[in-house]
DNA sequence: AAAAATGTCAACCGCCAAAAT
DNA sequence: AATTTTGGCGGTTGACATTTT
């Protein structure tokens, strides 16, 4: 068997957070600030592991979170950044104050990826997909030619430095 | 109307670097 | 200096929602 879970303490809760839990975590952090996540559940009266508390705070409770759908402009910028950084979501998210890496990753995986494919672009390389005689996509022979106008391309694995 | 397919998204897992001891 | 613990990250899962057949 593999590595043991971060919270082996049996009885620890997992899965979706309830509003009561959110309340406890929220008020605890607002009152005490962020110091040591491991201590949070105990001090806040939660049956969760510290890691779970951290995640909940970062992705959902932080007051500085910007909520709501990503705008088209944001989406475009994500594509630009992705073409340079690849799947370095936290790096990409750093350009969007108030948005989380998880949210951006989700958006990429569920919407943008498909959108690019529909435009005939490879979501990994951001380059036009070779089309040996149609295969999977829904023909309409129109697709790829016109999208060569994409300005982003190349430089996919560019930055080896800094994380 | 029902079922199947597809989409969405919160939250988990394990890895590993950084921090702590 | 070496070992252990914590926190950050990206990939992935699975529950629920929506759309399609």
Is the model's pLDDT at A141 over the cut of 80? Answer: no
Cα–Cα distance measured from residue A63 to residue A66, given in angstroms and rounded to the nearest whole number? 8
What is the spatial distance, in angstroms and rounded to an integer, between the CA atom of A99 and the C1' atom of B16?
Answer: 25
Cα–Cα distance measured from residue A52 to residue A66, given in angstroms and rounded to the nearest whole number? 21
pLDDT tens for residues A45-82? 999 999 999 999 999 999 999 999 999 999 999 999 99
DSSP summary character for residue A37 = G
Nucleotide nearest A53, from its CA to each C1': B11
Specify the pLDDT at position A9. Answer: 56
Give every CB contact of residue A148 below 8 A, 6+ residues apart in sequence. Answer: A128
pLDDT tens for residues A13-33? 889 999 999 999 999 999 999
Q: Where are the domains of chain A?
A: 19-61, 72-149
- The CATH fold assigned to A19-61 is Arc Repressor Mutant, subunit A (1.10.10)
Instruction: Assess whether the region A19-61 and the region A72-149 belong to the same CATH fold.
Output: yes
Residue A57 Cβ under 7 A from any strand C atom: no
Nucleotide nearest A86, from its CA to each C1': C10
Listed residue (A125, A123, A118) closest to A147, CA to CA: A118
The overall pTM is greater than 0.95 = no
Helices (H), A33-112: 40-44, 50-56, 72-85, 89-93, 101-107
Pick the CATH number of A72-149 from 3.40.50.300, 1.10.10.60, 3.40.50.150, 1.10.3720.10: 1.10.10.60
pLDDT tens for residues A123-135? 999 989 876 654 4
């Amino acid at each position: 068997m593999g590595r043991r879970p971060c919270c082996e303490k049996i009885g620890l809760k997992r899965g979706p957070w309830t509003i009561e839990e959110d309340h406890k975590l929220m008020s605890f952090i607002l009152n005490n600030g962020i110091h040591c996540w491991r201590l949070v559940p105990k001090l806040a009266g939660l049956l969760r592991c510290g890691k779970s508390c951290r995640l909940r705070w970062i992705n959902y409770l932080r007051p500085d979170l910007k909520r709501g759908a990503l705008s088209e402009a944001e989406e475009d910028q994500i594509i630009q950044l992705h073409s340079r950084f690849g799947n370095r979501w936290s790096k990409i998210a750093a350009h969007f104050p108030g948005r989380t890496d998880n949210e951006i990753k989700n958006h990429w995986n569920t919407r943008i990826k498909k959108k690019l494919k529909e435009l005939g672009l490879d979501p990994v390389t951001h380059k036009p997909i070779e089309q040996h005689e149609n295969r999977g996509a829904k023909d309409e022979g129109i697709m790829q030619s016109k999208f060569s106008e994409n300005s982003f391309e190349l430089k996919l694995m560019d930055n080896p430095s800094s994380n």
